[in-house]
Structure 1
Amino acid sequence: MHNHLTPKFSVITVTYNAESVLEDTIQSVISQTYHHVEYIIVDGASKDGTLAVIDRYKGRITRVVSEPDKGLYDAMNKGIKLATGDYLCFLNAGDSFHEDDTLQQMAHSICGNELPDVLYGETELVDKERHFVRMRRLSAPEALTWRSFKQGMLVCHQAFFAKASLVEPYDLRYRFSADFDWCIRIMKKARVLHNTHLILIDYLDEGMTTRNRHASLKERFRIMAHHYGWVSTVAHHAWFVLRAVLKR
């Protein structure tokens, strides 16, 4: 019995005017020591030098699409349609895999002879020079279930690898937090969620604008109420409700 499964990873990067941060991301994908990887870049018809950066590496990128889209999650849905791997991973422009052998380590962390439904791990925040800033405030739970996200998004979207067979499109009604809803929907269907116990992603810490942050929290609240019910959501997030009331 061979112990090591070799799943194929579909890594999807969605870009729009990302010229200044995209190169690090591309290099982190194409330098992976693991070879069962396809790399898909979905660009929203960038006006800066993004396409020139992509062009320099086009021999190493499986698919490139560049056309206008209806925003981030619409572009991610295009990526889902193009992906042919066992697992999907969304690596944003500016983010990178933690090590050159991160995917190799992930594959090796899988025991048994069946692929888990979800692979997940930790995320560290880095600055523009790729220097460590801090670990993500919320850390991945030892055992993840769909109920875990009652506490918030305990696993960063980039460090959440979903099996392609469970993947559904992002819900475009959500403009800021569709990834939160997407992860919960996938976890509801998942039987085996595998903690790799690895730092998977270096996340570029640019901080969301405060205006977007407020809209994003409101959206998350709606998503939680939808999946977990109002009572539970209000109980978990009394502070959120209080803040919203005080802000009036």
Structure 2
Amino acid sequence: MDSAIRAFKLNLEKLNWLPGISYLRSKAFLTPRLGKLHLYSPRPLYIPDFYRQTPANHENCLSISIVTPSFKSGCYIEDTIKSILKQMYPGLEYIIQDGGSDDETVSIIKKYEKNLKAWESKPDKGQSHAINLGFDKTKGDVMAWLNADDLLLPGTLDYVNNYFQKHPQVDVVYGHRVLIDSENNEIGRWILPPHCHHTITWHDFIPQETLFWRRSIWEKAGGRIADEMQFAMDWEFILRLRDVGATFARLPRFTGAFRVHPDMKSIKDVDITGVREMDMLRKRYRDPYVSDDQLEHYIRSYLRRHLLLDRLYKIKVLRY
């Protein structure tokens, strides 16, 4: 549990002395932000100065392999590529696996090919298959994929490297999420509580664009993203990591930005493929020894911690 939560281990009824306590008890405070893709009007993306000053440990840095799957991603892929290459991380292996785009995607990729470990444009069987094709070309100590419309925030790779180096027992890390629109404006932020194994059985709150894991746990979990999954492949992968004993850590930092736009896959497919895949995962990975009441308790507790951290961040008691 975060030190901030320990320090504020009081319920709202005991906070009568706080200014604005009536707002803290209001509907606005008590409504979770997680799962919502548009939380406020567009504003310039805020990046703290210290993000760009993240200490770099490049002498013995871990190699990090990142795959970007793409298909007709010409509108946004250049921003994605720049967000990775501008990390200036010497141990980077960056692969772009394109599905045979006939828009400007390939011409954009070619502009940066000298900075890529590899790239390829050919028909594939979908996003999961493309991710696997990309990872087949990698050897890095740490792995991640970043979709062709999302961003890494400045300093992320140095931060992830430093964290893994200092915490050898941790297999998987992820951070808080920034939501951006088609113009790179900020439209929301998700503040996530410390990791909870039980909660992810029913809801996947882990932001995929912030997720990094060690190759050793990747291999232990089967070394593949499930090709048959076209919407919830990240959740299925996270549940497999959990079931092979992975140790997770939620980082105290925003590490990625998730782009919200009309053509995004998660909006277009959620009512068709998404619901079916998510229901299947809940049935497959549900712990038979956890009752409905226990599961509800875990989720309610997780959302309460989220609300507390979100409010503390908004009033600048917490800084990420």
What TM bracket, shorter-length normalisation? Answer: 0.7 to 0.9
Q: 1:67 to 1:211 in 2, by over 3 A?
A: closer
What are the Cα deviations for residues 9-63 of structure 1, in whole angstroms up to 9, with x where unaligned? 1111001011111000011111103221110000011111111000011111111
What are the Cα deviations for residues 109-161 of structure 1, in whole angstroms up to 9, with x where unaligned? 3464626211111111101221110014xx4331343x331241121112111
Q: 1:121 to 1:213 in 2, by over 3 A?
A: same
Secondary structure of the structure 1 residue equivalent to 2:72: coil
Picking from 170, 188, 196, the partner of 1:134 is 188
- RMSD, matched Cα: 2.4
Match of 1:58 in 2: 113
Higher strand share: 1
Picking from 199, 203, 222, the partner of 1:152 is 203
- Alpha carbons 2:179, 2:187 under 8 Å: kept: yes
What are the Cα deviations for residues 80-105 of structure 1, in whole angstroms up to 9, with x where unaligned? 21121111111011111112x11112
Give 1:157-176 correspondences, 5 Å limit.
157-167=208-218, 168-176=223-231
Amino acid at match of 1:122: H
Match of 1:219 in 2: 277
What are the Cα deviations for residues 178-202 of structure 1, in whole angstroms up to 9, with x where unaligned? 2211111012224432322110101
- Alpha carbons 2:202, 2:282 under 8 Å: kept: no
Amino acid at match of 1:128: S
Structure with max Cα Rg: 2
TM-superposed CA distance for 1:226, in Å, is 0.1
Q: Distance in 2 between matches of 1:190 and 1:141?
A: 20
- Alpha carbons 2:89, 2:158 under 8 Å: kept: yes
The count of aligned residue pairs is 230
- Alpha carbons 1:76, 1:170 under 8 Å: kept: yes
- Alpha carbons 1:13, 1:92 under 8 Å: kept: yes
Q: Distance in 1 between matches of 2:288 and 2:217?
A: 26
TM-score by length of 2: 0.66
TM-superposed CA distance for 1:173, in Å, is 2.5
Q: 1:111 to 1:79 in 2, by over 3 A?
A: closer
User: In the alignment, does 2:217 pair up with 1:177?
Assistant: no
TM-superposed CA distance for 1:64, in Å, is 0.3
Q: Distance in 1 between matches of 2:268 and 2:180?
A: 23
Identity, % of aligned pairs? 22
Amino acid at match of 2:282: M
Q: 1:92 to 1:51 in 2, by over 3 A?
A: same
- Alpha carbons 1:118, 1:190 under 8 Å: kept: no
| Unmatched segments (≥5 aa) in structure 2 | 1-56, 297-320
